Amino acid sequence: KLMQRADLILSDSGGVQEEAPAFGIPVLVLRETTERPEGVTAGASKLIGTDRERIVAEASLMLDKPRAEIRVTSPYGDGRASRRICSYVLDFFGIPHEREADWIEEYKAVA
């Protein structure tokens, strides 16, 4: 819940680098390298290292931007895989259920 309410996240955690973009929250990665380069390539995260002055400068830049200007797209998916999997399993066994309208077409394409 805290992650959803954040304007910006500073972290060295690989898991956080994957999770925050699902909520549209940018991540400043406090490392020299990352095992999640997809996030950097997609613009969901920025690799800034561990220099205190750079961290403060980069965080200040991000926090000074209007929220509407910050566009974060997750390269790791939209966070609804488990719902889709349940839907596929229920369909496989012929169990009636409701699907979210926005992924019915995607489901039909792979079914």
Residue-averaged pLDDT of the chain: 86
- pTM to 2 decimals? 0.71
Q: Which residues pair with 29 in a beta bridge?
A: 11, 47
Q: Which of 101, 63, 41, 103 is nearest to 21 (CA)?
A: 41
CB 28 within 8 A of CB 8: yes
> Degrees (nearest 5) of the Cα angle 72, 16, 55?
75
- Mean pLDDT across 35-43: 93
